[in-house]
Structure 1
């Protein structure tokens, strides 16, 4: 799977255009805003977007999803249905965080643990990783050893758990029982900030380093 990261919104959220090199079919992961910037990158890459993928329901990750889906005539896939309340409250989210007014929407399909999403001839495994939000999911490309983890894990940090229905222990459990078993060599694209690897985080991350759980 090929990818291009596009920071969007004042929160500098890592939206990604991902595509199958053989077919040039593509998906957009977490289009939080700046739709014109995303469309310009899609045109530059010469790929054909066939779906939008969402990791969770926070506005900096989904704020542009409905508009982009309408412009491209593509479905919105994800997150897990436990984040439905976040998508239903997008108007309030946009007010609270100073974003342009964003209307509630319903994705074409919610995702569950063990589902698989195709992008051209490439496939992404779906992991349900609650904690930051109850319906947060992670997309994992087994062939490329690459994961899109949203706001579950960051380089040197983890997702916030001070939101409604967030849970710190659930987040730690998701990271240690869902992500770590994928392997040390997995690289990941977080929702914000630079990429890292699970090996680096297991050694250095002050929240989830292995030595904390010995």
Structure 2
């Protein structure tokens, strides 16, 4: 395991790494997938420290940044990379700022419950999430080949309009961003979220075949694919009970929960 003052690097396999920020309450994970010709970095973390310092140690291949969604804890180091992609549904947020989340709230969230020393460059009082124009836009069904490694993009809105999940076709790894993880609720309770879309997106990923591991962007690193069957069961219950709407609160299931 690579030693670093802020990031924790964990090898999933010799060409796949999780880069985690366990010193922050959100316990956010970014993921580096290395091909023969390029590497893909799924999200760039909180921006409290520079994730490029880590990726430079893991590969010298050109890095393509794939954005699961435009929230501050997933785009923090976007400015360090030249090639950035986002789903068209979140393009406006990346260019003009995140909708529905005031900067004051973002700064409160970024600065609270930190358990590791932060670099001198981090100042929560002046913290501003990355804004900039992406290199290109992603769409549902896009396939990206980085050299003997192909990933497929699934548009999975709800948490944000342009949220995506990413399937590594070679290994069966499913990277679900903030659509599915354990320990804390997956949420769609802000005005900028959509509970119906979120449940439809959960249904969509539950039907992806040959998934070997589910990697959410928070909390436990790597969930067994049996959780996708639990997701199917939860979807039915949520719909039958009429809970798929804002204001119905937290709903707990086996292995995960959602909040509307």
Q: Give the corresponding residue for 2:214.
A: 188
Distance 2:62 2:139 in 1: 22
Residue 25 (structure 1) aligns with: 38
Give the counterpart of 1:120 among 134, 147, 150.
Answer: 147
Q: How many angstroms apart in 1 are the aligned matches of 2:40 and 2:105?
A: 29
Report the equivalent of 2:7: none
- Bigger helix share: 1
Q: Which residue does the alignment assign to 1:210?
A: 233
Query: Between Structure 1 and Structure 2, how many residues are aligned?
Result: 200
Q: How does 1:141-160 map to 2 (within 5 A)?
A: 141-155=168-182, 159-160=186-187
User: What secondary structure does 1:179 align onto?
Assistant: helix
- Structure 2, gaps ≥5 residues long: 1-12, 111-126, 238-260
Structure 1 stretches of at least 4 aligned residues deviating more than 4 Å after TM superposition:
90-94
Cα contact 2:34–2:59 (8 A) shared by 1? no
Structure 1 gap ranges (5+): none
When the two structures are superposed, what TM-score results if normalisation uses the length of structure 2? 0.68
| 1:96 to 2:122 alignment | no
Indicate conservation of the 8 Å contact 2:181/2:219, yes or no.
yes
Give the Å deviation of 1:42: 2.1
Decide whether the 8 Å contact of 2:68 with 2:164 is kept in 1. yes
TM superposition shift of 1:93: 5.3
Query: Which protein has the larger Cα radius of gyration, Structure 1 or Structure 2?
Result: 2
Q: Offset at 1:102?
A: 2.9
